[in-house]
Amino acid sequence: MKKLYLLAAAFAAVFSGSPAMAQEVSDPVQENATLQLVSRQFAFTEGPAMNKKGEIFFTDQPNNTIWKFGLDGKLTLFMKNAGRSNGLFFHPDGSLIACADEKNELWSVTPAGKVKVLLGNYEGRLFNGPNDVWVDKNGGIWFTDPYYQRDYWSRKAPELLHQGLYFLAPGSAAAVLVDTAFRKLNGLVGTPDGKTLYVTDLGGGKTYRYTIDGPGKLSGRTLFAEKGCDGMTLDSQGNVYLSGNGVTIYNSEGRELRHIKVPEEWTANLCFGGKDKDILFVTAKQAVYTIRMLVKAAE
């Protein structure tokens, strides 16, 4: 039935002049597709990010490494001593932006693995621990900074009194604090056109949507879903994917479309990738999984 639906959508698009995928697919998962285990060799996987080729990079935070999932389906170690990186996202220039919370920093990593520290503090005080990051098409960096006590820190309390959403403008040496109205924020993602930003308040059990008015400027904060999450991603139809208890998929209006069960008790994050960018890649504690989709990465 899904194949018939897509053929009908494509046929209609020829006469309407709209893209074939403009009509909503009620279930974005490919028919009969099941979750495929890639590997269960890690300690805690996080932060998957797709580069322009469709390759996926992700972190194994306790082991302080970043791995690559290639187009051939093979895993290779990209980086050791990765700053205990958590969330990742690729910059338009090809560098990998990493939330390196070992020293509460934001990094830029070249394809060769060379590190540049972009930020280390806010107004002279250590960040809580940059957690997740999204980079807009102009190179503006949005990131979340909740406080999760790490066993590799010497400090036992935050230096900042807030848990904030920040923006770093291209070429700037200082971040702008954008919002602090969260119990404990976590994942975020923006639309490719740079008009909408989704941010989750994991501590408050809610996910919000904002209108992006310009660099570091948001308005129209509205409740998107009565559900918090760890990480999130978008697909080519504007559907929003929230991780945590498996994967929950919502359409752009906040209506739940599908829940994908994951064997592990916690799903940390997810992104699209692969040669055709139609594979959903899921990080879940010691494991990473893939599942084939009818939709593709948002572009």
Q: Percentage of the chain surpassing pLDDT 90?
A: 91
Q: Which two tokens stand for residue 79?
A: 């980086």
Residue 298 lies in a domain: no
Q: Is 100 exposed, middle or buried (0-12, 13-18, 19+ CB in 10 A)?
A: buried
The per-residue pLDDT for 255 is 96
Residue 249 lies in a domain: yes
Residue 154 lies in a domain: yes
Residue 273 lies in a domain: yes
**Average of pLDDT values for 43-69?**
98
Residue 53 sits in a domain whose CATH number is: 2.120.10.30
What are the distances in angstroms from CA 173 to CA 170, 176, 237, 249, 271? 9, 10, 35, 36, 29
Nearest in space to 190 (alpha carbons), one of 218, 230, 227: 218
**Average of pLDDT values for 263-287?**
97
Pick from 7-21, 40-54, 137-151, 162-176: least confident = 7-21
- Tell me the C-alpha distance between 8 and 59, whole Å: 40
Residues 6+ apart with CB under 8 A from 272: 50, 233, 235, 278, 279, 280, 281, 293, 296, 297, 298
Residue 71 lies in a domain: yes
pLDDT, tens digit, 9 for 90 and up, residues 223-256: 999 999 999 999 999 999 999 999 999 999 999 9
Q: Which two tokens stand for residue 232?
A: 């999130």
pLDDT, tens digit, 9 for 90 and up, residues 3-36: 444 444 443 333 333 334 445 678 999 999 999 9
- Give the chain's domain count: 1
Residue 210 lies in a domain: yes
- Tell me the C-alpha distance between 256 and 81, whole Å: 39
The per-residue pLDDT for 23 is 58
**Average of pLDDT values for 67-96?**
98
**Residues spanned by the domain of 246:** 43-292
The per-residue pLDDT for 25 is 76
Residue 32 lies in a domain: no
**Mean pLDDT for the chain overall:** 92
Tell whether pTM > 0.95.
no
The per-residue pLDDT for 15 is 35
The per-residue pLDDT for 26 is 84
Residue 2 lies in a domain: no
pLDDT, tens digit, 9 for 90 and up, residues 147-170: 999 999 999 999 999 999 999 999
